[in-house]
Amino acid sequence: MFEDVIKRLEGLGFTVTDEWVLNFCIDKVTNHIKNNCNVSEVPQGLHEVAVDLVCGEYLQGKFNAGQLGDYSQAISKIKEGDTDITFVSGTSDVELLKTLINTLCSRNLDFAAYRRFKW
């Protein structure tokens, strides 16, 4: 899962700077899924969900610690001569980052198909 998380974060425009923190997030998310589904291993069908949850946990921790630096990962405005093209209007880079993190962290509904009763 470690390599998949790194690739996903790179695809989102972020670089992993602390592998220990990333491994902690992987363990945290893995245990969360196993406890919520009452299984001993993360089901294969939840692998992509787990990767997104780990990315969300990692980015949330870095954001809260003020360690993400420049938030502008995407182009929001292009000016060519007297023409302006705005892709995202009225939304700051910080708000876009918070939206991305919330989207990555809100995947718990996918657990329903894999839950087992605890006896």
Higher-confidence residue of 91 and 21: namely 21
Nearest CA among 40, 19, 42, 11 for reference residue 29 = 42
User: Higher-confidence residue: 90 or 1?
Assistant: 1
98-108: burial string, b at 16+ Cβ within 10 Å, e else: eebbeebbebe
Per-residue model confidence (pLDDT) at position 5: 94
Distances (CA, A) of 43 to 26, 89, 90, 106: 15, 40, 40, 18
Identify the band that residue 4 occupies on the pLDDT scale cut at 50, 70 and 90: very high
Global pTM value: 0.76
What confidence tens digit (pLDDT) does each residue in 61-117 have? 988 888 876 655 444 555 656 666 665 555 677 788 888 888 888 877 777 777 777
Say if CB 5 and CB 50 are below 8 A apart: no
The confidence score (pLDDT) of residue 119 equals 63
pLDDT score at 28: 95
Q: What is the pLDDT of residue 80?
A: 59
How confident is the model over 30-52, as pLDDT tens digits? Answer: 999 999 888 999 999 999 999 99
